[in-house]
Amino acid sequence: MRKSKGWRITLYAILITYGLITLFPFAWAVSASFKTYAEIVGGGLNLIPQNPTLDNFRHILFGHNMFPRWIMNSFIIAGIGTIVNILLNSMAGYSLARLRFPGRGIIFYAILAAITIPGQILLIPNFLIMRSLGMLDTFGALIIPTAVNFTYIFMMRQFFVNFPREVEEAAKVDGLSSTMTFFRIVFPMARASIATQGIFVFMSFWNEFLRPLLYLASPQNFPITLGLRSFQDQNVSWWNYIMAGSLLSILPIIGLYIVLNKYFMTGFRIGGDK
Amino acid sequence: MTSRRLEAFQGFGFIVPVILVLFVFTVLPLGYAFVLSLMRVNQLAGTYEFVGLANYQLALNDPRVHTALMNTLRYVIIVVPTQTAIALIMAVALNSGIKFQKTFRTVYFLPTLTSSSALTMIFMFLFAVNGPANDLLVGLGFIETPINFVQDVRFALNSIMIMNIWATVPFYMTIYLAALQDVPDTLYEAASLDGANSWQKLTKITIPNVVPVTNFVLLMGIIGCFQVFDQAFIVSAGSGGPANATLTFSLVIYQYAFMVIGTMGYAATLAIILAAIIFVVSIVARKLNREETLY
């Protein structure tokens, strides 16, 4: 497409302005995390701190009795949740795509229907179910109900439907049982789909707020999303610690984004295909 | 025959965990929700009393529910079209053969990676009484005294809306971008030969070609906005204040279920009503979008 010079300039102006709008809040958060509390509340529009300090990070990482634990909890919940999801979603997707068993059709339609149910409706009953299972205030309450994800089961099924049958037949000729064929041959070849669902599952566990709020009572079990609120009480908001903590809580996801960037994009193609 | 049976055994074995979760945490609670909605639940005494449709009747006359519904509708009506339009515009801008596309895309994507909890904290800091936004507005002489945005009835919900739009645009923009790359170039080339300008290409080619994606984005946006909770809860510390300005439908459900004693059944009723509203609005939105783009 050929465009005039004026049009080009407008285009870049829009793109850069939007970029600045995106970065503006983060820039201030970064700035505040290196400032002292006094400098933050003292006002002044200097993005560069007068006396840059690492004290805020030092305090929450080493001087705070809970912060490191919250980060660790988030890693445990999101880590276990993601591994279990990848395994169970892939197995279910493979089963729906390739293996014949009675009731397969019904299960497939039930999964499709489940995708469309708004989460709010299940919240209260699930809380009561958790309570009667004695799982309140445990990580299990967060991991088990979301140990599978219906959307990604569907995605894995679509992947395996298009998977070349010859590969599996060759493995069978070599004497592998079909269970072994799945784990040794098929599963590793689904790397891209697995990475895509892994990223998004990890991110949704890591960023979750409502269910932890509902299920977890003891501060030592909190993930970081809940913990961040505790730097704020009725009277004072310790913006220096809150900003340092917020930024640290984003880092793992940003790391994931940088390392596995191409799989993020695959995820969106799938989203857009609907 | 044995291999057939083995396959059925394996197929079933591979999906058993899903069936369990599906049953225990989706099918069962779905039925449970409807049962609860017909009950008056006293959590402390552990009693369940059948009250028929009384909870539904109660919802019709509950001023807090009305406020929450109005707040949420306003939220949906403003946020969904705005974020969809900005997402489409930014995706078109990114897709028009510019340099540094990947850099822009990477920067834009940051808010999507960030948890609602961290984002809300950052925005609360930005809009705090002694925060940068106020410093800037006072410094430039737009206002004389700082505004406590999140505690002010006029600004509290609007602040959350701005934050939400800012935070979700990149997600939908990326979905649009993937879709735009699938629109055949030949369409644009043909339009150029016919002398179409950029605006005509946008309205006559781009938008009609991404209707399915727009439907998806609207649907996701509607579902997400109707269920907005995290931001409203964090900003108001669960109260929905100031003066119910940030009381969203999900927040009122949460309050009746977990902060007020004895109204859990009622809260389940409200959750069902919310699901019904989402369902109806989604269908209407899809219809409207399809009709508009027919011409």
Assess whether B8 and B137 both reside in one domain. no
Domain membership of residue B249 as a residue range: 63-292
Assess whether B6 and B95 both reside in one domain. no
Rounded to 5 degrees, what are φ and ψ at A64? -100, 135
CB B180 within 8 A of CB B95: yes
Residue A122: which residues within 8 A CB-CB, separation 6 or more?
Answer: B25, B26, B29, B30, B33
**Å between A77 CA and nearest CA of chain B:** 15
Q: Please report whether residue B212 resides in a domain.
A: yes
The string of pLDDT tens digits covering residues A3-17 is: 578 888 989 999 999
- Structure pTM? 0.91
**Å between A183 CA and nearest CA of chain B:** 11
**C-alpha dihedral sign at B80, B83, B86, B91:** negative
Q: Which of B3, B20, B26, B286 to mutate to test the interface with A (most CBs of A within 10 A)?
A: B26
Assess whether B163 and B227 both reside in one domain. yes
Q: Does A10 touch chain B (CB under 8 A)?
A: no
List chain A residues with CB under 8 Å of B194.
Answer: none
Facing A239 at nearest CB: one of B115, B125, B234: B125
Predicted local confidence at residue B36, as pLDDT = 93
**C-alpha dihedral sign at A82, A85, A87, A90:** negative
* Residue that the structure tokens 């003292």 belong to: A42
Whether A272 sits inside 8 A of B275 (CB atoms) is: no
| Total domain count, chain B | 2
Domain membership of residue A34 as a residue range: 1-63
CATH number of the domain bearing residue A249? 1.10.3720.10
Burial of A272 from C-beta contacts in 10 A (0-12 / 13-18 / 19+):
buried
Which residues 191-250 of A are in CB contact (within 8 Å) with B? 203, 206-210, 213-214, 224-226, 228-229, 237, 239, 242-243, 246-247, 249-250
Strand partners, B42: B47
DSSP code of residue B40: E
Q: Please report whether residue B45 resides in a domain.
A: no
Assess whether A147 and A12 both reside in one domain. no
CB B123 within 8 A of CB B163: yes
Assess whether B24 and B69 both reside in one domain. no
Which residues 16-75 of A are in CB contact (within 8 Å) with B? 18-19, 21-23, 25-26, 28-29, 32, 40-45
Assess whether B17 and B112 both reside in one domain. no
Assess whether A55 and A76 both reside in one domain. no
Whether A121 sits inside 8 A of B272 (CB atoms) is: yes
List chain A residues with CB under 8 Å of B179.
Answer: 272
User: What rounded mean pLDDT belongs to chain A?
Assistant: 89
DSSP code of residue B50: E
The answer to which of A254-268, B2-16, B281-295 has the lowest mean pLDDT is B281-295
**Å between B9 CA and nearest CA of chain A:** 7
DSSP code of residue A63: I
Assess whether A214 and A141 both reside in one domain. yes
Amino acid, res. B93: A
3-state secondary structure of B39: strand
Q: Please report whether residue B53 resides in a domain.
A: no
CA atoms within 13 A on the CB side of B277: 21
Assess whether B21 and B157 both reside in one domain. no
Best CA proximity match to B234, nearest among A226, A46, A148, A57: A226
Q: Please report whether residue B19 resides in a domain.
A: yes
d(CA B115, CA A240): 18
Assess whether A23 and A73 both reside in one domain. no
| Total domain count, chain A | 2
3-state secondary structure of A236: coil
The string of pLDDT tens digits covering residues A18-35 is: 999 999 999 999 999 999
Share above pLDDT 70 across residues of chain A, in percent, rounded to a whole number: 96
How much is the average pLDDT of B151-155?
90
Q: Please report whether residue B103 resides in a domain.
A: yes
The string of pLDDT tens digits covering residues B176-215 is: 998 898 888 888 888 888 888 888 888 888 988 898 889 8
How much is the average pLDDT of A91-112?
93
Whether A18 sits inside 8 A of B28 (CB atoms) is: no
Assess whether B113 and B19 both reside in one domain. no
Q: Please report whether residue B42 resides in a domain.
A: no
How much is the average pLDDT of A130-158?
94
Tokens of A73: 């909890």
